[in-house]
């Protein structure tokens, strides 16, 4: 069971897990990318992010984000970074 706390990032009455990060990624490329977020306790999030689209999501601390794109040879890992690098302070 997750411990939940009121969300401090917005004025909504939503709840977010304790020990989580509010992240945001903006795709500034001219190609769609697939964002995969892998975290502890089998946390997994996968979303398609279109060019110039912004994706906001909540993930556990110590998560890792992978950005994948498609090229002639198939899927290609474009970038791998810690979720803490794309934390949204809004």
**Tokens 């279109």, residue?**
50
**Per the domain annotation, does 32 fall within a domain?**
yes
Per-residue confidence in pLDDT tens, the chain, 90 aa: 344 444 444 555 555 555 789 999 999 999 999 999 999 989 999 999 999 999 999 999 999 999 999 988 899 999 999 999 999 876
Q: Residue 22 has which token pair? A: 């509010």
**Per the domain annotation, does 31 fall within a domain?**
yes
Distances in whole angstroms, Cα of residue 64 to Cα of each of 8, 20, 21, 38, 39: 22, 13, 11, 5, 6
Task: Determine if the pTM surpasses 0.85.
Answer: no
Distances in whole angstroms, Cα of residue 66 to Cα of each of 13, 22, 36, 38, 40: 30, 16, 5, 8, 15
**Tokens 């994948």, residue?**
68
Total domains present in the chain: 1
**Per the domain annotation, does 57 fall within a domain?**
yes
**Per the domain annotation, does 34 fall within a domain?**
yes
Residue 43 lies in domain = 20-85
């Amino acid at each position: 069971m997750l411990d939940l706390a009121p969300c401090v990032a917005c004025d909504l009455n939503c709840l977010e897990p304790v020990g989580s990060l509010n992240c945001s990624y903006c795709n500034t490329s001219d190609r769609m990318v697939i964002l995969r977020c892998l975290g502890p306790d089998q946390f997994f999030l996968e979303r398609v992010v279109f060019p110039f689209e912004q994706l906001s999501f909540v993930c556990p601390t110590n998560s890792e984000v992978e950005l994948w794109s498609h090229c002639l040879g198939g899927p290609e890992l474009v970038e791998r970074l810690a979720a803490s690098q794309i934390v949204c302070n809004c």
